[in-house]
Chain A
Amino acid sequence: MSFQLPCPNCGNRSVYEFRFGGEMKQTPGSDAPVSEWQNYRFNRVNAAGIQAEWWFHRSGCRQWLQAVRNTISNEVLESFLPPEHRG
């Protein structure tokens, strides 16, 4: 694995500068059933194809960012800083 990932702050960088933060997924509500939380915590879609995911630019700006990547070709289609409204 040696693709490059465009950091919105720092530009195109080697993937080795980043920590993979997992697939982006919707957090269940606080009263959601236990099974939904277990699914959130332990299961992954592991898509073969386009996937939205979290990355942390460890050796750069030290910001969390989101990227849309094709997991087959490792082509990163877009990347952006997290929108601030979902918390």
Chain B
Amino acid sequence: MKFLFHNKPIEARPGDTIGAALYRNGQRIFSRSFKYHRPRGLMCVSGKCPNCLMNVDGIPNIRTCITPAREEMTVKAQNAYPSLETDFLSITQRFDWLMPVGWYYKTLTYPAMWHAAEPTIRKVAGLGEILPSAPTEYEHAWAHAETGVIGGGWTGMQAALAAAERGEQVILIDDQAALGGQLLYRESAGQMPGDVIARLQSTTNIRILQNSYCFGLYEGNLLGVLQRDPHTAVSERLIHLRARQIVVATGAYETPLLFPNNDLVGVMLSTGVLRLLHLYGVPAGRRAVIVGESAAAEEISAELGAGGIELMAIVKPDAVIRATGAGKVDGIQTQTGHISCDLIVICGPRVPDTGLIAQAGGKIEWSDAQGAFLPTVLPRLVTAVGDAAGESIANTGIRFAASKRAFVCLCSDVSSTDLCDGIAEGFDQIETLKRYTTATMGPCQGRMCQLSAIGVCVRETGRSFAQTGMTTSRPPNPGVTLGALAGPNHHPVRRTPMHYAHSNLGAVWMDMGDWQRPRYYTNRSTASEADRVLLEYHSVREAAGLIDVSTLGKLDVRGADSGKLLDKVYTHRFSDLRPGRVRYALMCDEGGVILDDGTISRLSEGCYFVTTTSGNLDFVHQWLEWHLSCTKWDVRITNVTAGYGAMNLAGPKSRDILRELTDCDLDSTSFPYMACRQAEVKGIPAILLRIGFVGETGWEIHCPAESAEELWRAILDTGREFGIQPFGVEAQRLLRLEKRHVIVGVDTDALTNPYDADMGWAVKLDKNDFVGKRLLTHAQTTKDQSREHLVGFVLQAPGLPPDGAAIVVDGQPAGRVTSSRYSPAKTAGIGLAWVKTEKAQEGALIDVRVDGGLVKAKVTMTPFYDPEGRRLRQ
């Protein structure tokens, strides 16, 4: 198996991670540090330190030490130019005196300075670069368990088996490639009992998630789990795992020691050395010096010898003066002299991994006896076992030396001297010190540096560990790619039953909520949008037009008390609506603010057909159900939006066209304006509503969705000789604006009551109690002059204001435009606007802001087109 590292083929063995294969092939420098571009090499070999981050297949910041190598991967270094071995920017460490802790707070004190410096800082410092075109796919999954066990080490496996024996459904989450935890690489931890793993794998009520880490433990025992490479189609899967109880068996991790040059390539944690040796068969070096307290160091030395690494010396942490070497370790200076070596093995303090417990509200407190922060109070239904609970943790004699080159935070190059400086400047609380120095805030999220940072703080302030405390643990930890959080890259759209008929007519689409609607039709013409919209407009005004209105919300409301419910929730009266009639329906909240509008048709004594605006259907449905929920009324509400296709046939020729398709009497005396009929059109059962949003004779035709495309085509075919055109949303908006018909949510807002919008006629204050009645009555009687009023305006000069343009009166802002279009009927720009009530008078003059200047406009309180509504009723 081969992969490419900077175009160089690298041989990898089965089971190798990228990091292990690179190391076996002689690669020692894996990254360049954040600030000083110091060379860094493998250290923890467990995905916890920031040293091995690389770009893999275009995705930055991949932890190569735990990412399996795969055929034909392309792997590249980050934050290094021109190469890892020679990085020109490593010059920055010579100028570290220019960049003390917090230097940018002190020097870049004016916005202009920061803006000038930012591009350079971003280029010089940092991690990998995001490549937006990287071909990655993510998915989300949901899982439930009675017991969730986090950690596949010895105690985690035991906990999973015990829960399974109690008959519980168990999910075991392990961030490694194989179960076993430290048994896999530490001989001193004991022998791997072969049958345990076999038992786990054969127990049917245990599900094992390998290569998966928990990044958060949220309220209600919800675990955020990130599974790497769940299958070939996606790179990561985010699992929302809900468990009744959670066992935290996350173990402990080893952390570095503080001495000068503790970050040189070749300084590794003992567990890292053992992992390389036992998991991948790669000796980390030839001649090693172990730094550690005697017992731990003895244990490690025995294992190194078995791996063919020559032991040069064991040095107590107290005796270390500095590691030596230019970039890579060539020896160690101790109080008794210099020892040559190519590997320094650190037996560092072991830190219980309690991040998840802290996130869930558990209490973590310092134990002097064990030299560690341990969970003392656990959240409900969360338990901690093994090293995470502090079982075999015993850290002694940890030293927190101050040095310019003793790095506490490897992620952002914060040395122990930097921390001391921060404390001297007054940031002596661990939380403020963290924010000022950025220690614990990098990709490792404090795993490698938190104990050292606290230790330095303790030493400098003279407080105890218990007094100093820990920084707050927050999810996600470890970090999660934004792509995994976002999930699959698709957005659902809703299409009307006539969608493909529109496509054939060259529809140009617009999104309206989830719906796609034709904005206008090109119909194989190369004319401009404006010309096409004008053509659609003139067909409606002079012949006929057909628009798809299937996106309207449609509710079937039936039952003996339906009229009572509609009377209560809408402002108009519907209990007295005769079957076969339609009424405009306006809905307000208790404050009298307009929520939605539509039409309500009474199809029969006990059955109403309610339409809502496209975007408000769910809200209206829930609002009706809520008002019904505490009653014993006989009402059933069914959302039939997707069941019906709907189209509006409008224009002076519409009756002639429809007459050829139906036997229903369409004459104005038998089928007048605001009437409804159920009839067959071209043999398709339909509901016909004689209403006119666009201001012409017309019918809104609702029919079963499966027949809607057929009916659409039939009407267009029949209408061809009458000059019919399909029209889109843009022409409809212009047509309705000429009629001054309001669109709720466009021309109204969260303050609008019906009186402000001249729709008081739709409010029946004389009917029994209804939603909003009390405050609408108040509004109607007080006629508050400080409120704004919705008016029409006609521009007195060329130009067209954008939506939201300011209205100006006497040089002062006095309102805003909500809709405006060029009106062919008025041969001028027209629109709707909110103005102060005193300007809401026929003929009043206002100024509208257009293209940076002011244009005079005349207020009108009547429709711009056919003010008497004769054409509607024809």
Contacts and interface: CB of A to CB of B under 8 A. Distances in A.
B219 A2 contact: yes
A32 B774 contact: yes
B219 A87 contact: no
Interface string A16-33: 000101000001101110
A87 B222 CA distance: 38
Contacts of B629: 63-64, 82
B219 A37 contact: no
Contacts of B774: 28, 30-32, 34, 37
User: How many residues of B sit at the interface, in one of the four size bands?
Assistant: 20 to 34
B72 interface: no
B81 interface: no
Given A30-B769, A34-B778, A74-B219, A41 B633 contact: no
B590 A64 contact: no
A54 B626 contact: yes
A58 B625 CA distance: 12
Contacts of A37: 590-591, 774-775, 778
B218 A2 contact: yes
A55 B630 CA distance: 14
A3 B590 contact: no
Interface of A: 1-4, 14-15, 19, 21, 27-28, 30-32, 34, 37-38, 40-42, 54, 56, 58, 62-64, 74, 82-87
A1 B632 contact: no
B489 interface: no
A75 to B, nearest CB: 10
A42 B589 CA distance: 11
A84 B630 contact: yes
Nearest to B773: A30
A15 B774 CA distance: 34
A2 B222 contact: yes
B626 A34 contact: no
A83 to B, nearest CB: 7
B622 interface: yes
Given A3-B219, A21-B626, A56-B622, A14 B632 contact: no
Interface in B531-552: none
Contact of B590 (A41, A62, A82): A41
A5 to B, nearest CB: 9
B775 A38 contact: yes
A74 B218 CA distance: 12
B220 A2 contact: yes
B220 A3 contact: yes
A82 B630 CA distance: 6
Interface in B612-658: 618, 622, 625-626, 629-633
A17 to B, nearest CB: 11
The 3 closest A-B pairs by CB, nearest first: A87-B631, A3-B220, A30-B769
B778 A42 contact: no
A56 B591 CA distance: 22
B474 to A, nearest CB: 14
B607 to A, nearest CB: 21
B589 A19 contact: no
Chain B residues touching A, majority SS: mixed
B242 interface: yes
A84 B222 contact: no
A3 B230 CA distance: 27
Nearest to A36: B774
Given A2-B222, A58-B622, A82-B630, 15 more contacts: A4-B242, A31-B774, A34-B775, A37-B775, A41-B591, A41-B775, A56-B626, A64-B625, A74-B220, A84-B630, A85-B632, A86-B631, A87-B630, A87-B631, A87-B632
Nearest to A40: B590
A3 to B, nearest CB: 4
Contacts of A14: 220, 222, 242
Contacts of A31: 774
A83 B629 CA distance: 8
Contact of B630 (A38, A40, A86): A86
A19 B590 CA distance: 20
5 contacts: A2-B222, A38-B591, A84-B630, A85-B632, A87-B633
A36 to B, nearest CB: 9
Contact of B631 (A28, A34, A84): A84
Interface string B329-343: 000000000000000
A28 B775 CA distance: 12
Contacts of A28: 774
Contacts of B618: 58
Nearest to A16: B240
A73 B332 CA distance: 54
B220 A4 contact: yes
Contacts of A62: 625
Contacts of B625: 56, 62-64
A87 B242 CA distance: 38
A65 to B, nearest CB: 9
Nearest to B770: A30
A15 B536 CA distance: 47
B591 A1 contact: no
Contacts of A27: 590
Contacts of B632: 84-85, 87
Contact of B589 (A1, A41, A64): A41
A41 B775 CA distance: 10
Nearest to A27: B590
A13 B587 CA distance: 32
Nearest to B777: A34
Given A87-B632, A87-B633, A42 B591 contact: yes
Nearest to B621: A62
Contacts of A86: 630-631
Nearest to A65: B629
A43 to B, nearest CB: 12
Interface in B359-381: none
Contacts of A32: 774
A40 B589 CA distance: 11
B361 to A, nearest CB: 10
A1 to B, nearest CB: 7
